[in-house]
């Protein structure tokens, strides 16, 4: 078997944990990139024991902190010659939380879900380029469907400053914006990295049941809603298997800059001004993503903002 080395961020719970188990079970080297080592160590041990794979490694990283990401990447570079698969799975989404900034003064959702993954990818780019089949996967969300409404756009104004009126802060809007920005990055990186043979993919996740640990992270009244949602969602293993297929399958080897749905069909940009029936079908289905994801001005802004925010952190110091 062609054994790969894979980094999975947020691999201690939910989909990330199920993915770590899947890759480990198939004999690959897995680096679980997690922010809380104490909590993650028993998960690592359990995966290593159950799969009999001695190459399940745990490394600390806080995806909201540039310094932490740089430390993680430096450590990785010291220990490994190449990286085959990078899965940006970790994400910040905290029901009911107030506006909060990362240690670098960036709105926490954008820092964790967009700027952090961008920096990690840039720092690991050379090691990815050393693989003969490098693949980066971004965990997307169907929350971006809100952008099917042509009036919606990413709010760049509050990335580094709190809205004056706290009522203008919304966890959902920040999360939705972050997942759209991440998709734009995925498309852009496909072009930027084509010369290096690094491929990028994104998966639109419709929902996965929240684990007991994940449920405990949210406030009690949100927990009730999450428990109800759990009745309708698929287990994390379903999405973890999709991660595996996207990152390993030969049929995706020559693709890049694609956004998959839960059937692993390549999604297409939605038609705009196509009439109300088409709008309803597009909104209800899983075949298209909002045309806004192809908006050149917004995509360029996401790329530039990520570059500017991470600039002074984007060199590997060993």
**Cβ at position 59, least distance to ligand NAP in Å:** 11
Give the residue carrying structure tokens 């920005």. Answer: 181
As a whole number of angstroms, the distance between CA 218 and CA 251 comes to 39
Of 4, 5, 8, 12, the one binding ligand NAP (CB under 6 A) is: 12
Question: Of the two residues 29 and 102, which places its CB atom closer to ligand NAP in the complex?
Answer: 102
DSSP annotation string for 35-62: S-HHHHHHHHHHHHHHHT-S-EEEEE--
Of 20, 63, 86, 134, the one binding ligand NAP (CB under 6 A) is: 63
- Using DSSP, state whether 6 is helix, strand or coil: strand
Rounded to the nearest 10°, the torsion over CA 241, 242, 243, 249 is 100
- Using DSSP, state whether 261 is helix, strand or coil: coil
Q: Which stretch binds ligand NAP (CB under 6 A): 73-81, 85-93, 147-155, 187-195?
A: 85-93
φ, ψ (nearest 5 deg) of residue 104: -95, 10
Helix 296-310, helix 171-192: angle, nearest 10 = 90
Between 190 and 219, how does the x/- string for binding to ligand NAP read (CB under 6 A)? ---------------x-xx--x--x--x--
Q: Which stretch binds ligand NAP (CB under 6 A): 60-68, 126-134, 157-165, 183-191?
A: 60-68
Of 23, 72, 92, 243, the one binding ligand NAP (CB under 6 A) is: 92
**Cβ at position 22, least distance to ligand NAP in Å:** 13
Q: Report which residue's Cβ sits closest to ligand NAP.
A: 14
Give the footprint of ligand NAP on residues 36-55 (CB under 6 A): 36
Contact criterion met (CB below 8 Å) for 186 and 170: no
Give the footprint of ligand NAP on residues 287-316 (CB under 6 A): none
Instruction: Based on the shown chain and the rule CB under 6 A, indicate whether residue 15 belongs to the binding site for ligand NAP.
Output: yes
Of 109, 112, 174, 186, the one binding ligand NAP (CB under 6 A) is: 112
φ, ψ (nearest 5 deg) of residue 107: -50, 130
Of 59, 62, 84, 107, the one binding ligand NAP (CB under 6 A) is: 62
Rounded to the nearest 10°, the torsion over CA 229, 230, 235, 240 is 50
Q: Who contacts 48 (Cβ-Cβ below 8 Å, separation ≥6)?
A: 24, 54, 56
In the complex, which residues of this chain contact ligand NAP (CB under 6 A)?
Answer: 9-10, 12-16, 34-36, 61-64, 89-93, 112, 139, 141, 205, 207-208, 211, 214, 217, 233, 236
């Amino acid at each position: 078997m062609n054994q790969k080395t894979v980094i999975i961020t947020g691999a201690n719970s939910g989909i990330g944990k199920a993915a770590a188990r899947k890759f480990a079970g198939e004999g690959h080297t897995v680096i679980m990139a997690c922010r809380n080592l104490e909590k993650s160590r028993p998960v690592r041990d359990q995966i290593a024991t159950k799969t009999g794979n001695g190459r399940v490694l745990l490394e600390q990283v806080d995806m909201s902190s540039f310094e932490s990401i740089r430390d993680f990447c430096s450590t990785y570079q010291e220990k490994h010659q190449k990286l085959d698969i990078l899965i940006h799975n970790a994400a910040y989404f905290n029901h009911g939380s107030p506006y909060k900034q990362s240690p670098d003064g960036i709105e926490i959702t954008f820092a964790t879900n967009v700027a952090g993954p961008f920096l990690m990818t840039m720092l690991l780019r050379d090691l990815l380029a050393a693989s003969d089949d490098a693949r980066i996967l971004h965990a997307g969300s169907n929350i971006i469907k809100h952008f099917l409404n042509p009036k919606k756009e990413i709010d760049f104004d509050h990335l580094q400053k709190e809205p004056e009126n706290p009522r203008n802060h919304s966890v959902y809007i920040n999360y939705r914006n972050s997942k759209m920005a991440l998709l734009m990055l995925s498309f852009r990186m496909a072009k930027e990295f084509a010369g290096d043979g690094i491929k990028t993919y994104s998966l639109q996740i419709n929902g996965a049941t929240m684990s007991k640990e994940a449920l405990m992270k949210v406030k009690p009244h949100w927990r009730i809603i999450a428990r109800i949602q759990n009745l309708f969602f698929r287990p994390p293993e379903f999405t973890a298997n999709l991660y595996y297929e996207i990152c390993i399958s030969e049929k995706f080897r020559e693709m890049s800059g694609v956004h998959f749905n839960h059937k692993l069909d390549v999604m297409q940009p939605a038609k705009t001004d196509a009439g109300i029936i088409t709008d309803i079908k597009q909104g209800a289905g899983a075949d298209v993503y909002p045309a806004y994801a192809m908006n050149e001005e917004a995509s360029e802004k996401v790329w530039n903002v990520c570059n500017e925010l991470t600039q002074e952190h984007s060199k590997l110091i060993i």
